[in-house]
Amino acid sequence: MPNQRLIVLAALVPALLFSGILRATPFDTAFDAPAAARVAAPLLQPVPAATYLDQWALPGHGGDRFPSLTDASAAVAESTAAAPTARTQDAQAAAQSITDLRKALLAAAMGLRDIRYVRGGRNPATGFDCSGFVRYVFSHAIGVQLPNTSASQFLAGIKVKRDDIKPGDLVFFRTHGRHRISHVGIYISGGRFIHSPSAGKSVEISSLDDGYWAKRFAGAKRPEAMALAANKG
């Protein structure tokens, strides 16, 4: 508004001076008011604020101009577009991290195939029982310490639906009655899992669809450390 008033005054001053001259000097013809109005009309049109911002210099800044509205809009758009890109990159990095953890687990587990079953066994030198095998793999492959028994590992994990089981998740069974968790293995893919089954056998791969294991399947759990890494993705 102040700028528009200045423009109006600037337009009126010449008009008033011109009017004074008309009064002081006789003319043979009458003053053409419509013609004067047509000349002054363009001077009285309001100028958009963006024009002032773009053309006037900042005092004391060496002639630097205000950024135009177009430039400001472009800067905001660029900043907004960069945020989703950063979030996408973080999500991709987290997804790659959990994938690497799962690969490391399965590689360690597969490297222990044919190690014989020993009740209470905790390392390859003496043999493994089911929970000892799982605990050893998680500890040496990704540095995660799991509880000692299959029942306590079941309680420590986060429940996973059958259709959502991922490589590296734990699968549990009730092999000694219907109410007690007594066996655990590490899920691979395609319904297969690797475990140390029982006396007289060695670490091997079995299927959840096998009649014996399907009948005794109690559920799947994801160790908390794995769940936290997955949630970051």
Q: Please say if 183 is a catalytic residue.
A: yes
Query: Domain limits at 29?
Result: 2-77
Q: Please say if 61 is a catalytic residue.
A: no
Q: Which of 61, 130, 140, 179 is catalytic?
A: 130
- Whether residues 8 and 59 share a domain: the answer is yes
pTM (2 decimals)?
A: 0.62
**Three-state SS letters, 16-50:** HHHHHHHHHCCCCCCCCHHHHHHHHHHHHCCCCHH
- Whether residues 122 and 51 share a domain: the answer is no
Q: Please say if 140 is a catalytic residue.
A: no
- Whether residues 150 and 48 share a domain: the answer is no
Please tell me whether residue 174 adopts helix, strand or coil conformation: coil
Q: Which of 61, 176, 179, 195 is catalytic?
A: 195
Predicted confidence (pLDDT) per residue in 159-207, tens digit = 999 999 999 999 999 999 888 999 999 999 999 999 999 999 999 999 9
- Describe the crossing of helices 69-110 and 130-142 by its angle, rounded to 10 degrees: 140
Render 189-231 in DSSP notation, one character per residue.
ETTEEEE--STT-BSEEEETTSHHHHHHEEEEEE-HHHHHHHH
- Helix (H) or strand (E) segment spanning residue 144: none
Predicted confidence (pLDDT) per residue in 89-114, tens digit = 655 665 777 889 999 999 999 999 99
Provide the number of structural domains found in the chain. 2
